[in-house]
Amino acid sequence: LELIAKTACRIPKNPPQTFYEGLCMLLFTREAIATLENIGISQLGHVDRLLGALYENDIKSGRITEAQARELVGIWMAYTDIKFDLENRDWPETSTCIQLGGCDAFGNPIYNDVTKIFIEEHHKLHLVNPKLNCRYSKESKKEYLMTIGKAVLDGHNNFVLINDDVVIKGLISSGVEECDARMYVSGGCQETMIEGYGHTEGAGIY
């Protein structure tokens, strides 16, 4: 409770400085906008791109351990299944999702410790939500694909796998700037959204 109170004094007014603050920022922003605008927001964010550096800095400074980070990620992801009381519902799908992998604005493949932690903790906890929207391409690191494959082969089929080589090329051909196309995320029905520029109203509307 002390950690929550301390963080609430900084977030969201100030940029997150720690991995924990980054997690808080993403969830608070999503919930606040959804409440104030009375809309459903499915995408929680491109978490490994947004939180990777915060995690690395915390590990290097000794502020957090990998075990502590894994516990936080598990709690953060369990929020949706708990909120919707999935064990007592006939339809467990909530359209809530996170983005993983893919590339940054310069085309560099994204796979880091945060990517691995989110996939492995989702698998370990047998979560349904948030869906793991995983971008991949011919440039993706083998370890990334193997991490996904291990979970799928174990029966944890909670992934949406999105081919960057096809999607980014298609976005560019439709007039989207290449750097913007590289930053796309996919929503709860897997509609493609251009971060900061595009808007969708369901899977069938561009």
pLDDT tens column, 103-149: 999 999 999 999 999 999 999 999 999 999 999 999 999 999 999 99
Q: Is pLDDT above 50 for 206?
A: no
- Res 205: pLDDT: 46
The Cα–Cα gap between 191 and 116 comes to 24
- Res 200: pLDDT: 64
Find the mean pLDDT for residues 56-76: 98
Find the mean pLDDT for residues 37-56: 93
Contacts of 67 (CB under 8 A, 6+ apart): none
Distances (CA, A) of 12 to 41, 146, 155, 196: 18, 35, 37, 18
- Res 202: pLDDT: 60
The overall average pLDDT reported for the chain is: 92
Q: For residue 35, how far is the Cα from the chain centroid?
A: 20
